[in-house]
Homo-oligomer: A and B are copies of this chain.
Amino acid sequence: MLYLGPETRLSSLIIEPTHSLIRQSTHSREREEPLNGDGFGIGWYATDHSTEPAVFRSITPAWNNRNLQNLARVVASDCVLAHVRAATQSSGVNEANCHPFRWRQYLCMHNGDVGDFRAVRRKLLASVCDEAFGNVYGSTDSEHFFALFIDSLLGSDETDPALRMARALARAITRTLELVHSAGHGSASYLNVAIADGDCAVVSRFTDDADGVPESLYYFTGELYPIVQAKGRPRVERGQPVTVSSERLTADPGWTEVPAGQIIILRRDRAPAFIDARTGEMRSAPAAARKAS
């Protein structure tokens, strides 16, 4: 799940909702296997964005981690990412393999698989610049995908930060498909990927599987959680908060599916926008997003 909006406590986001991430760690509903018990991670930005974001990751399950409960009760932020992991057989459970991954001010997390990853890994690594290569510390397909994103971002001349991120994400998806095509054995990729820089965020919902149904992904525009209001500080009105999550966190009817094959673009001061996850072309804002803004 990813949140962008006014400052709120982490517990409001990841512990208190009916179908919170903690709950999803044992009872996720939209996956074949309901268990996400192979560690977890959260990332968040300091209120003044004066420093790189924090990442807190652990190899123990989210549901019984006291440090997570303690942190979440006290820490507040205006941009939060949280992830519970179900590890694939091939990659070990250690902190380097827990999401979110960080590079400079960017945080990245992934739900899905890079098709035939073991066969693709070498060629993928060979294709990225030293900076992107040097940021790979573990053995997950997700962190390797992030290296493709970093490389694509560094090679981009787009100037708008949110669009630059969105297009680099689209480019990384295209490059992944090409790599799997040339080095893999025909497996499909599932690429629901969330990337934030603290001010804006992009999230893809994508698969090239024959049936065309990616992993689930929803967004909600509007207030779901209590806002932390600093004493004596004027409330900054900068548009509505947005939450994106693999599963709906509440029973609220306002949750909307991110369309398959799209990347949702979140900015603090406007309604969500969408671009095509492969071509990077802007889509006219869908009805749901228009309604919510």
Contacts and interface: CB of A to CB of B under 8 A. Distances in A.
A73 B92 contact: no
Contact of A38 (B64, B73, B122): B64
A183 to B, nearest CB: 11
The listed residue with most B CB atoms (<10 A of its CB), out of A44, A53, A76, A95, is A95
Contacts of A58: 67
Interface string A38-71: 1000001111100111111111110111110011
A93 B65 CA distance: 8
Given A37-B37, A230-B233, A70 B55 contact: yes
A48 B231 contact: yes
A58 to B, nearest CB: 8
A138 interface: yes
B54 A70 contact: yes
Given A56-B67, A122-B130, A74 B44 contact: yes
A35 interface: yes
Contact of A93 (B35, B56, B64): B64
A271 interface: no
A155 interface: no
Q: Chain A interface residue count: which class? A: 35 or more
A179 B273 CA distance: 48
Contact of A96 (B61, B76, B92, B232): B92
A44 B67 CA distance: 12
Interface of A: 9, 26, 35, 37-38, 44-48, 51-61, 63-67, 70-71, 73-76, 87, 91-96, 118, 121-122, 125-126, 130, 133-134, 136-139, 228, 230-234
A237 to B, nearest CB: 14
Name A's interface SS: loop
Contacts of A71: 54, 56, 71
Nearest to A72: B54
A45 B136 CA distance: 32
11 contacts: A26-B37, A37-B61, A37-B63, A52-B73, A54-B71, A66-B92, A66-B93, A71-B71, A94-B95, A94-B96, A137-B139
Contacts of A95: 66-67, 92, 94
A43 B139 CA distance: 22
A279 B57 CA distance: 46
A66 B230 CA distance: 29
A64 B87 CA distance: 8
Contact of A76 (B35, B46, B56, B136): B46
